Amino acid sequence: MRFDIITIHPELLSGPFSHSILKRAQDKGLVEVHFHDLRDYTLDKHNRVDDYQFGGGAGMVMTIEPIDRCISALKAERDYDEVIYMTPDGEQFDQPMANRLSTKGNMIILCGHYKGIDQRVRDHFITKEISIGDYVLTGGELAAAVVCDAVIRLIPGVISDETSALFDSHQDGMLAPPVYTRPAEYKGWKIPDVLLSGNERLIEDWRHEQALKRTQERRPDYLSDDGMK
């Protein structure tokens, strides 16, 4: 898998990708992440990548030319499965979308800024528009990092215990059950006895029950009308 992220703030993105699991995934060659500074592609003598909007109105709009030049340069090198635009009016990102994206090869992600991008970019270059939630960030960079993180951890070999991603909250329309670690008692607060029973069957049943309870309480929309899976 390869992500090419187009941004006017590459420094905002370098942090999330240079630590921990995302760094290791790149070191192992499981994913490549490249940042492209949009200002390197503008022909404007003042290095501008935005302009006033036609028809008037507050807020600058990102211009089409540097974006076209950057995307075209990337596409001349390789084929892409998706050209994604991060925007608060895009399709809501969720675990099923992360799962689908984790099966793709090469993806371009364009991070928006200001009042947005010239609509002709969306009409002619973008294949998918993603929002990470109903709120407006200062730019698409943090949203792009969220999407890449959720997708990269699903690539086989990225998480050491390969099965663990299967049991994540949201993965099969259920939230994950509570987990505990040592000590078994802390300040008089004990862990559930069943977890010390050594009986795998009982532990599995307890986990399922707890996951169902949590889902009923917090995300009843995941369950059928009778409140069951």
Give the footprint of ligand ADE on residues 8-37 (CB under 6 A): none
Strands (E), the chain: 2-7, 32-37, 50-52, 60-62, 82-92, 106-111, 128-131, 185-186, 189-190
CB 35 within 8 A of CB 64: no
Question: Residue 48 and residue 39: Cα distance in Å, rounded?
Answer: 7
To the nearest 10 degrees (0 to 180), the angle between helices 10-17 and 20-27 is: 90
Stretch that binds ligand ADE, among 83-91, 119-127, 148-156, 197-205 (CB under 6 A): 83-91
End-to-end CA distance of the chain: 33
Give the footprint of ligand ADE on residues 99-158 (CB under 6 A): 112, 131-133, 135-137, 140, 143
Torsion over CA: 103, 107, 110, 111 (sign): positive
Residue from 63, 87, 106, 215 binding ligand ADE (CB under 6 A): 87
Instruction: Quote the DSSP letter at residue 172.
Output: T
Query: Least distance to ligand ADE from the beta carbon of 133, Å?
Result: 5
Query: Least distance to ligand ADE from the beta carbon of 108, Å?
Result: 15
Query: Least distance to ligand ADE from the beta carbon of 79, Å?
Result: 25
Cβ proximity to ligand ADE: between 128 and 153 the closer is 128
Cβ proximity to ligand ADE: between 22 and 132 the closer is 132
Strands 106-111 vs 128-131: parallel, antiparallel or unpaired: unpaired
Query: Least distance to ligand ADE from the beta carbon of 132, Å?
Result: 4
CB 121 within 8 A of CB 64: yes
Cβ proximity to ligand ADE: between 49 and 211 the closer is 49
Query: Least distance to ligand ADE from the beta carbon of 189, Å?
Result: 38
Residue nearest ligand ADE, CB atom distance: 143
Question: What is the contact surface with ligand ADE in residues (CB under 6 A)?
Answer: 86-88, 112, 131-133, 135-137, 140, 143
